[in-house]
Each structure stands twice: as structure tokens, then as C-alpha cells.
Structure 1
Amino acid sequence: MKRLLLTYLLLFTLTTIYAQEREEKLFLNGYIKNLQEFSFVDRLEQLQWTTFLHNRLNFKYIPSNSITARLEVRNRVIYGNNVKNIPGFSDYISQDNGIVDLSWNIIYNKDLLFNSTIDRALINYTKGDWDITVGRQRVNWGMNLVWNPNDIFNTYNYLDFDYEERPGSDAIRIQYFTGDFSKIEVAAKKGKSADDKIIAAMYKFNKASYDIQLITGVYKKDWVIGAGWAGNLKETGFKGEISYFVPYESYVDSENVLSGSLSVDYGFPGGLYLHGSVLYNSNAEDSTANLGDLVFTSLTAKNLMPFKYSGFLQIANEFTPIFRWSFSSIYSPTNYSVIIIPSLDYSIAMNWDLNFTGQSFFEFEDYQTLGNILFVRLRWSF
């Protein structure tokens, strides 16, 4: 642990000194966050709490106009009931599916966990119409805001709102821009297991004021084809994604999977914002689906929700330029499952932000409250 802390301190010091001398080439930014989690099922006497102290260091080095190198480190200290009461919590936090395991539990005891993870380590080369990136990176092919069937490389969980950078992959990504609004992109990712591989291509272009993309490739044990679009119906945003998965080892009489999502959003002149989305997931087993599975689950593009049908609705507004609120809900007709997500954001001062977010899980068919969580987060960015 001491060696790791000394290494980060040395990196921080050298970066600061070097950035002062050659400001145009080396950069450092990041943040420190304190997240308090309070949870209970249906009675306050069940209240449990967990403290998350989260530090992020983003190093960027630009030795020339064509080359950029990035190293980004995520350090988390977690203390409280989650550490000691949730089975496999430390394994979930330290999970790393890349070729090289770059996540370490430095300290782990009864109720304290200190994890350090490198989630970005890449070199980017740009020249003319070419853009090539090698290393741990985010390959983002999603177009919707909540559910992304096209985001086959880096699927993320919407409920994990505190991880705004989202997961990365050990990948090679090559982009060739064929025009101002069109490109061909090829990416390949490899994980630890033999089946954990993704090799896919995307063609993106603009037609009738719509950004359209077509994808195809190999997704683990499946062939995948898909399409996505983003545009407007008059003044209303309209986006959609669809992906179809076919097992390539037994494609005859196989159980193919279709995942598709649509979304619309509209901003009123007074600042009120509405966003709605629906998801269809043919891979879901509604008879065994449970909202509780979402909290500590690594989702995949083939299984973005545990239900066949899901809907999302959000309303948001700004009281003032520094004070914003939103109210979101996720609904499925299976067991009349509902997640309610209210949120408040307040900018205290320059680089200081305060957030309150709630997540409540219900199944109204049997009148069950599955859980309630309140998050309080203070963030300082540098």
C-alpha cells in the first residue's frame, strides 16, 4: 500500500512540476468525491450506511500534434455496511475483465475496502482522416441516453450514476473519416477468457438530418448486426438502437436475441426537459426477473434489463443556473416493477458540487418494497 501511495504521490508531483514547465504537453485533472449511502428496505430501523471516498487522477501527455497518451486512475475507499454485509462485495468492486488485471484491493478487512483501478491507459494517433487508439479505452457506440443495445463494447448500468466516465475495454480502435459526417470504424476487444472477445465494424453517416449507424461483427459467442439513429421529429429528439444476436456455433434452431430501444426528448423554452424511452429485450426471463438484481450487476448488450419490456420517463428543470432537479422512473409490467429516482444538484462554489439522489425499488403486484437508497455526494474537481 505504501509503495502504491508513494507512486501516486510521485506521479502527482512530477506532473505538477512538468506541467508548469511545459504546460502545452502534460496535463492533470480529476476530482475527490465523498458519497454517503443510506439504505433500508421498508422500515427506518433497518437503516444501513456506507461511506465512499473516491479520488480520480487523469493524466494526459501530448508529445506532438498527432499523438496523445492517457492514464486515468480510480481510487476508492469504502467503509460501512456494504463491505461487511454484501457477499462478494470486494470481488464486485475489484472486478476487471481486461486482458491484464489492473484493479487491486489494497486493503480489505471486516468493514473497510481500499481499491485502486486503472480504467484508462491508451495511446491515440490522429493524422488526416485516420484516428487510431490502442489500450484501455471507452469504445462508445451507444446513441440513446439510458439503454444502448449498440454499445456492445462498454455496456453500463444507468443506476451506477456515480461512475460518469463509464467502463473501458482493452481494445484496438481504428476510425477512418470518409467525410464531415461519415466514418468507418473497426474495433477489437479481448478479455481474460477465450470467449470474451468482440470484433466489430461500424459505418456511420448522415442522411436527411439523421445520424445513422450500421454495425456488424462477433460478440463473444454470437454474430451481431445492428443499427442506430439520432435526429429530430420537428423539435423533438428521436433516437433508436437495435441489435440482433445469433450464436455462431449453433445458429440452426438457436435462441436468437433481439434488443431494441427507442427514446424521445424535448426541451421547453422555460427550461423544463422531458425524456422518455422504451426497451424490448427478448432475452429476459420475466418469471425470474427481479429489480434487486440490477444494483450490483454487470449488464451486457444482450441483457440491459431483467424484463422483456421496460419504460423510462424523466422530467427535469433548473430552479436557477446552479440548482437543478430531476425525477426519473423505470417501469416494467412484469410484477408492476418500478424504480423511482429523484435527484437534486447544487453548485456550491467554483468546482464544488452537491448532489442528492434517491433510488426506490417496488413490485406493486405483491405490494413489495424491495429497497430504498439515499445518496449524498460532495464533489471537488481540480
Structure 2
Amino acid sequence: MKKLLVTYLLLFIYTTINAQEKEEKLFLSGYIKNLHQFSFVDKLEQLQWTALLHNRLNFKYIPSEEITFRLELRNRFFYGDNVKNIFGYSGMISNDNGITDLSWNIIDNKDILFNTTVERVLVNYIKDNWDITLGRQRVNWGMNLVWNPNDIFNTYNFLDFDYEERPGSDAIRIQYYLGDFSKIEVAAKKGIGKDNHIVAAMYKFNSGSYDIQLLTAIYQQDWVIGTGWAGNLKNAGFKGEISYFVPYENYFNSENVMSASVSVDYGFKKGLYINSSILYNSSANDASSDLAALLYNSLTAKNLMPYTYSGFLQLAKEFTPILKGSLSTIYSPTNQSVIIMPSLDYSIATNWELNFTGQSFFEFQDYQTIGNSMFVRLRWSF
């Protein structure tokens, strides 16, 4: 399988490069990022350092007006204390929940880790009102800005700020547009294991100043119904999502789960932006919840936070066209848990960006510091 995939990739690149010589049908974009992480719990003597050299290659081949091929590769080279000290780190990095494992640790030893992953490989067909995509893709049904209970196919972790593209799914997605503001969408995903499958349908339409979606799905071992909306309350944005999960086996004796989020955001004239959100998670067990689990665990639409209630507040400001900053906080009344995330972005030159991001985790009820991390990232895009 691996030899076949490598042959396919080489053939794809060779064919599209030859096509590019004839006419502009092949497009290449991507970036190279150098990310340094400095972490400690509550004493600087505990300081741990890890570096990541991150490269992404996005190939797009358009042989006709109706058909588009996409191939996107993610290459990551890790070195430092996380590679040495975190048990199972290489397995976590190479984890792939798709039908076929397309993630490989090329180098894996006690000091360094080099991983290559096929992030997207798909064909897209668009004609008249039809839009059909087959392959590894992102099926994005989320409408909210932070927590997305409707994003049942490939939920992302908001703490993973270095992963802008967000996870994908091995799926087929069919969209039929009924008009300029309405469509019917059907998608299906088959992952590893007999219960790791999703089949879902969504109807999206516009009513007044609101975009509204209704969805239903078989989600692993649950039936799901949900809704989402995005609109305005006067000059403020107002968005929300609700998903309700009902086990289809022994559902009379099972506990149903509701995941719901609502957000309001507003931009001031002088460049200040405010975004606030509230999340309710009925499946959370507050007594055994742990903020630290957010760092390495995969989130699902059914369990977006380890607490029943969580709140988010972000202040963002563009100081100049090349300098902007933000301060984000997440608070839960359980143990008075708090996450503080400051960030600063500076555009050094065209396609060059420098970023500073911090993440601190606290439980003030027990006066406990869970951990602190500082990230420094230099990025070049092409």
C-alpha cells in the first residue's frame, strides 16, 4: 500500500508539472514554519524546550472547468524535550484515523522525530448546481467561532493554533444548491473501526438576516439532530450551534448528550474586536475533568470541553497594518479553571510573519498551576 501511494504521489507531481509547462493548470502554495515551545509548570527551573520545523505543500491541478484535484502534504520535524520525555509522543503525532493510514514517522528515535502526512487528497466536481468531492477533505459544518457542536466530521482543537487548516476526513460530500442562499448537503465518512463512521445530511437556508442549518446524522454509536445559525443582533454578530446525541443501542437506558454553544462578536471603529462565547456540555464529568487533557486529547463534537459550562472572551486589536495582538481567556466555574492565551503577530515583510503566543492553565480553587507555554514562530508563505 505504501509503495503504491508513493508511486501515485510521484506520478501525480510529474503529470501536473508537465501540464504546467503547457498551460496554467497546476498551482502550488504552502509555507515553512519554525516553531519553538518553552514550557514549565510553576517554576522556571522546570523549563522544557521543543522545536518544530513545519512544511506544507499544497498542489492543485485543474484539468477542466468542472474538475479539480488537490494533494496536500504536511511535513513536520520535531526535536527537543517533548520527543524525549513524553511517553507515546511519536504515536500521537503519527495517529491517522482515516480509512488508510497516510501518516508515517520517517525518523523516530529518542532525540528527533520526522513525520510526513497526506493531509488532503481529493477530486472535486462542480457542474450547474452540483458540487461533489471524494477523498480526504475537510467537511466543515461549524458556524460558531470557537466551539462547534455541528462540526461532527472533523472537530478541531482551538489550542492547536499552529494547525490553521484543521483536520480532514476520508469522505464523500455531495452538495446541491437550491438557490443563492440554500442548499442540501449529504456526507459520509468511514474511519478505522466498525463504530467510527458518520453519515449525515444538512439543509442550509437563509431567513431574514440569518443563515440557518438543520442537520441529522448517524454519528458513530449515536443518532444526532442539530441546528446552527449565523446572523446579527443590530451591529453585533450572533452565532450558535446545538447538537443532540441519542445512542441507538439501548437508548431507553442510555444518557443522551447535548452540546450547545452561543457567541456574540463586535468590531469597533478603531480596530478593537470582541468575541465572547458560552458552551454547554451535558456529558462532562466535572469531578474528574482535567484541563491538561485538552493539550493532547482529540476533541469531538460530543465533548468539546471537559466541563459542563465554559465561557470564552477574546479582545483583539490591530495596532498598525503590520502589528496586531489578542488576549483570549477561557473560564469554567468548575475549580475556577482558567486558560489565558495572549498572542502577538508582526508582519516582517511580504509573506514573512513573526508570532508570539502564550498558553497558561490554572485552577484557582486549589491555587494550582497546571502549566505554562510560550511559543515563538517564524513563518514564510509561498
- TM-score range (shorter-chain normalised) is over 0.9
Distance 2:110 2:7 in 1: 27
Measured in 2, the distance between the counterparts of 1:153 and 1:14 equals 32
Alpha-carbon contact 2:16-2:61 (below 8 Å) kept: no
| 8 Å CA contact 1:204, 1:213 repeated in 2 | yes
Q: Which residue does 1:222 correspond to in 2? A: 222
User: Secondary structure, in 3 states, of the residue corresponding to 1:98?
Assistant: coil
Residue aligning to 1:103: 103
Q: Partners of 1:115 and 1:329 in 2: how far apart?
A: 32
TM-score, normalising length from structure 2?
A: 0.96
Segments of structure 2 that go 5 or more residues without pairing to the other structure are none
Report SS of the residue matched to 2:251.
coil
Determine the C-alpha separation between the residues in 2 that align with 1:166 and 1:316.
Answer: 22
CA shift, 1:253, in A, is 2.5
Q: Give the conservation status (yes or no) of the 8 Å contact 1:130–1:177.
A: yes
1:269 alignment partner in structure 2: 269
Q: How does 1:181-220 map to 2 (within 5 A)?
A: 181-220=181-220
Specify the alignment match of 2:90 in structure 1.
90
Q: Share of identical aligned residues, percent?
A: 75
**Deviation of 1:327 (Å):** 0.2
Q: How many residues matched?
A: 379
Distance (Å, rounded) in 1 between the aligned partners of 2:344 and 2:15 = 35
Give structure 1 regions of 4+ aligned residues with deviation exceeding 4 angstroms: 6-17
Change (3 A) 1:345 1:22: farther
Deviations 1:16-64 (A, max 9, x none): 9547524421111110000000000011111010010000000111000
8 Å CA contact 2:242–2:258 kept in 1: the answer is yes
Give me the whole-angstrom Cα distance separating, in 2, the residues matched to 1:8 and 1:217: 33
In the alignment, which residue of structure 2 is the partner of 1:331?
A: 331
For 2:361, what is the secondary structure of its paired residue?
strand
Q: Which residue of 2 aligns with 1:252?
A: 252
Q: How much has 1:192 moved relative to structure 2?
A: 1.1
Report the CA distance between 1:342 and its aligned residue.
Answer: 0.1
Task: Write the distance in 1 (CA, Å) between the matches of 2:217 and 2:197.
Answer: 11
Q: What secondary structure is seen at the aligned counterpart in 2 of 1:84?
A: helix
Check the 8 A contact 1:37/1:50 in 2, yes or no.
Answer: yes
Distance 1:51 1:264, change over 3 A: same
Q: RMSD in angstroms over aligned alpha carbons?
A: 1.8
* Aligned residue number for residue 322 of structure 1: 322
What's the TM-score once normalised by structure 1's chain length? 0.96
Matched, 1:304 2:304: yes
Deviation at 1:179, TM superposition (A): 0.6
Measured in 1, the distance between the counterparts of 2:19 and 2:316 equals 39
Q: Which runs of 5+ in 1 are unaligned?
A: none
- Call closer, same or farther: CA 1:16–1:193 in 2, change over 3 Å: closer
8 Å CA contact 1:335–1:363 kept in 2: the answer is yes
Deviation at 1:254, TM superposition (A): 1.4
1:10–1:218: structure 2 CA closer, same or farther, 3 Å change rule? closer
Q: Is the 8 A contact 2:238 2:263 kept in 1?
A: yes
